[in-house]
A and B are shown apart, each in its own frame.
Chain A
Amino acid sequence: QVQLQESGPGLVKPSETLSLTCTVSGGSISGYYWSWIRQSPGQGLEWIAYIYYTGSTKYNPSLKSRVTISVDTSKNQSSLKLSSVTAADTAVYYCARLIGNTFDYWGQGTLVTVSS
């Protein structure tokens, strides 16, 4: 059974860079697309980006200028960096596997709060 686990700081200061890692277990990161999705408190889901295991990427145009997504196949990990954060970036960040047109496996999510 594929499992995803997000990790990273739970508190980030305004204007700094948010950095998260998604570790995949129970399966290989190779052969699949991996995505990041966030959910602001009490709000809906917002897709951030996805990356193929080869490194090709696709970003949400609304966040593209601030987002970098990467993959490390040797560690079975995907990483997300979001720069110049503000309070509006406070959210639960999820990583998910994208297969076809579907996010079939999700991590449990990690809450990131942007505050000084």
Chain B
Amino acid sequence: QSVLTQPPSVSAAPGQKVTISCSGSSSNIANNYVSWYQQLPGTAPKLLIYDNNKRPSGIPDRFSGSKSGTSATLGITGLQTGDEADYYCGTWDSSLSAWVFGGGTKLTVL
């Protein structure tokens, strides 16, 4: 059972938009920055979004992040088959004194 809650899976058609939620609490998301990671099949996680809504160099603006209260959201527009991956949210948990991640969401582009 992960500290941060993500839907196990989401799906959408190519070209469409999808959002992935990440629900936490006052000890983690509400008071700390959230980052998002993309893990393509058989590869290491890759940073997608940091500090709630910032994109590293090289990440297309199809990817966006937001945070409100104890929840964060990853948005992906103009879906491509190459976006099929597992997506994880992560943040620091002040009560646990540990970094915590969501359980991951598998994105299927139909």
Query: Which A residues are closer than 8 A to B by beta carbons?
Result: 35, 37, 44-47, 50, 58, 60-62, 94, 100-109
Expressed in whole angstroms, the Cα–Cα distance for A94 and B90 within the complex equals 15
Set A61, A101, A105, A106: member contacting B97, Cβ < 8 A: A61
Chain A residues whose CB sits within 8 angstroms of the CB of B103 once the complex forms = 44
> Is A103 touching B37 in the complex (CB atoms < 8 A)?
yes
A-B interface, 9 closest residue pairs, ranked by CB to CB distance from nearest? A47-B99, A101-B33, A102-B50, A45-B101, A106-B44, A44-B103, A102-B35, A44-B104, A60-B98
Which chain A positions have C-beta within 8 A of B99?
35, 37, 47, 50, 60
Are the CB atoms of B44 and A104 closer together than 8 Å? no
Chain A residues contacting B90 (CB-CB under 8 Å) are 45, 47, 103
